[in-house]
Chain A
Amino acid sequence: MTETRAVRAMTRRELLSSGVAAGAAMVVGGGFVASATEAWAMETKALQPATMATLIQMSRDIYPHDRIADRHYALAVKAHDEKAAGDPDFAKMIEDGVAGLDAAAAEAGHGSYLGTGWEIDRVALLRAIEDGGFFQTIRGGLVVGLYNQKDVWPVFGYEGSSAEYGGYLERGFDDIAWL
Chain B
Amino acid sequence: MAAPFDLSDDSVVVIIGTGAGGGTLANELAQKGISVVALEAGGRHLPNDYINDEWESFGQLAWLDMRTTSGDWRVSRDFPNLPAWIVKAVGGSTVHWAGASLRFQEHEWRVRTEYGDIEGANLLDWPITADEMDPWYAKAEEKIGVTRTGGRPGLPGNNNYKVFEAGAKKLGYTQVHTGRMGINSVERDGRPACQQTGFCFQGCKFGAKWSTAYTEIPKGEATGNLEVREHAHVLKIEHGEDGRVTGVVYADKEGNQHRQAARVVAVAGNSIESPRLLLNSASAMFPDGLANSSGQVGRNYMRHMTGSVYAIFPEPVRMWRGTTMAGIISDESRNDPARGFVGGYEMETLSIGVPFMAAFLDPGAWGREFSSAMDGYENMAGMWLVGEDMPQESNRVTLHGEIKDQYGMPVPDVHFTDHPNDVAMRAHAYAQGAAVYDAVGATRTMPTPPYPSTHNLGTNRMSEKPGDGVVNRFGQSHDIPNLFVSDGSQFTTGASENPTLTIVALAIRQAETMAGMMARGEI
Expressed in whole angstroms, the minimum distance between the Cβ of A168 and any Cβ of chain B is 4
CB-based contact A179/B370 at 8 Å: no
- B359-397 CB contact bits vs A (8 Å, 1 = yes)? 100001011101100110110000000000000000000
Q: Which residues from 48 to 98 on chain A have a C-beta closer than 8 Å to any C-beta of chain B?
A: 62-65, 67
CB-based contact B366/A166 at 8 Å: no
Provide the residues of chain B in CB contact with A167, threshold 8 Å. 194-198, 206, 322
Complex formed: what's the CA distance from A152 to B358 in Å? 13
Complex formed: what's the CA distance from A131 to B126 in Å? 46
CB-based contact A153/B354 at 8 Å: yes
CB-based contact B321/A168 at 8 Å: yes
Complex formed: what's the CA distance from A162 to B314 in Å? 25
Known pairs A156-B378, A158-B353; A139 contacts B157 (CB<8 A): no
- Inter-chain contact count A-B, CB under 8 Å? 120
Total interface residues on A, CB under 8 Å, equals 36
Expressed in whole angstroms, the minimum distance between the Cβ of A125 and any Cβ of chain B is 13
B480 touches A (CB below 8 Å) = no
A157 touches B (CB below 8 Å) = yes
Give the interface centre of B52, B314, B366 by most chain A CB atoms within 10 Å.
B366
Provide the residues of chain A in CB contact with B205, threshold 8 Å. 163
B67 touches A (CB below 8 Å) = no
Q: Which residue of B lies closest to A174 (CB)?
A: B158
Provide the residues of chain B in CB contact with A156, threshold 8 Å. 354, 374-375, 377-378
Provide the residues of chain B in CB contact with A147, threshold 8 Å. 354-355, 357-359, 374
B231 touches A (CB below 8 Å) = no
Complex formed: what's the CA distance from A133 to B364 in Å? 13
Complex formed: what's the CA distance from A152 to B314 in Å? 22
10 sample A-B contacts, Cβ–Cβ < 8 Å, listed by A number? A62-B367, A147-B374, A158-B353, A158-B354, A160-B53, A162-B198, A168-B322, A173-B156, A178-B313, A179-B440
B474 touches A (CB below 8 Å) = no
Q: Is the interface of B mostly helix, strand, loop or mixed?
A: loop
The 5 closest A-B pairs by CB, nearest first: A157-B378, A167-B195, A167-B197, A161-B52, A147-B358
Provide the residues of chain B in CB contact with A3, threshold 8 Å. none
A121 touches B (CB below 8 Å) = no
CB-based contact A161/B196 at 8 Å: no
Provide the residues of chain A in CB contact with B355, threshold 8 Å. 144, 147-148
Segment from B16-24, B159-167, B233-241 that makes contact with A:
B159-167
CB-based contact A65/B374 at 8 Å: yes
Known pairs A144-B355, A163-B52, A163-B199; A175 contacts B366 (CB<8 A): no
Complex formed: what's the CA distance from A86 to B286 in Å? 48
Provide the residues of chain A in CB contact with B375, threshold 8 Å. 65, 67, 156
Known pairs A65-B374, A143-B359; A176 contacts B196 (CB<8 A): no
